[in-house]
Amino acid sequence: MKFKLISITIAALVLAACSVRDTTHHLSINEALNSAAAKKTLNSNVKLYFAKSAKGTVLAKDLVTNKKTNAANKTDVEACQWAFLSAVKQFQDRAVSMGATKVTNLVSYYKKNVYSSATEFECHAGHLISGVALKGDIVK
């Protein structure tokens, strides 16, 4: 009887530790863009417009990026900010390759669900992986 109780307890602990977590966060765009990591990573020559458009010629519309990062040993905010910066950098790199100077209409697009905000981005954090998806336009 004692062995059975210990086995059930261990099994319950293992299942709890292995359970899938998908916590939705809405985090500050400005905080992420003003971080030390952003200053090292992002291109200041490519302007970013969240949830709004900018004047110019649209070179590519409704592009999507979906970035994941290792969340182990990081807070959800740290992991989410890193995934966000990776997604923004991919847009900026694409803009530069096309000769553009702006990325506009940037919205969160996790699992093809739009979350449009000029001040916050959406991130989904799990035990081991966090992810950010963005959709936007490249403008010259």
Q: Is 15 inside any structural domain?
A: no
| CA 73 to chain CA centroid, nearest Å | 18
| Predicted local distance difference test score (pLDDT) of residue 22 | 87
Whole-angstrom Cα Rg for the chain: 19
Q: Residue 60: CA atoms inside 13 Å, Cβ hemisphere, count?
A: 18
Each residue's pLDDT tens digit, 96-105 = 999 999 999 9
* CATH number of the domain bearing residue 47: 3.30.110
Q: What is the average per-residue pLDDT within 77-85?
A: 97
Per-residue tokens: 13: 């602990």
The residue with greater pLDDT, 47 or 15, is 47
* Residue 15 scores a pLDDT above 60: no
53 vs 1, residue with greater confidence: 53
Mean pLDDT of 77-98: 98
The tokens of 87 are what?
């997604």
Domain assignment present for 103:
yes
Q: Which domain holds residue 95?
A: 21-139
pLDDT tens-digit series, residues 28-64: 999 999 999 999 999 999 999 999 999 999 999 999 9
One-letter amino acid at 78 equals E
Please check whether residue 27 is in contact with residue 80, taking contact to mean a CB–CB distance below 8 angstroms. Answer: yes
- Would you state the torsion angle of the CA atoms of residues 28, 102, 53, 76, taken in this order, to the nearest 10 degrees? -20
Return the bridge partners of 132, or none: 67
* Number of domains the chain is built from: 1
Q: Is residue 41 part of a domain?
A: yes
| Confidence tier at 20 by pLDDT (50, 70, 90) | confident
Q: Which residue has the tokens 């863009």?
A: 33
In a domain, 7, yes or no: no
Q: Which helix (DSSP H) or strand (DSSP E) does residue 15 occupy? A: helix 2-18
What is the phi/psi pair of residue 133, to 5°?
-120, 135
pTM of the model: 0.85
91 or 10: which leads in pLDDT:
91
Within a domain: 4: no
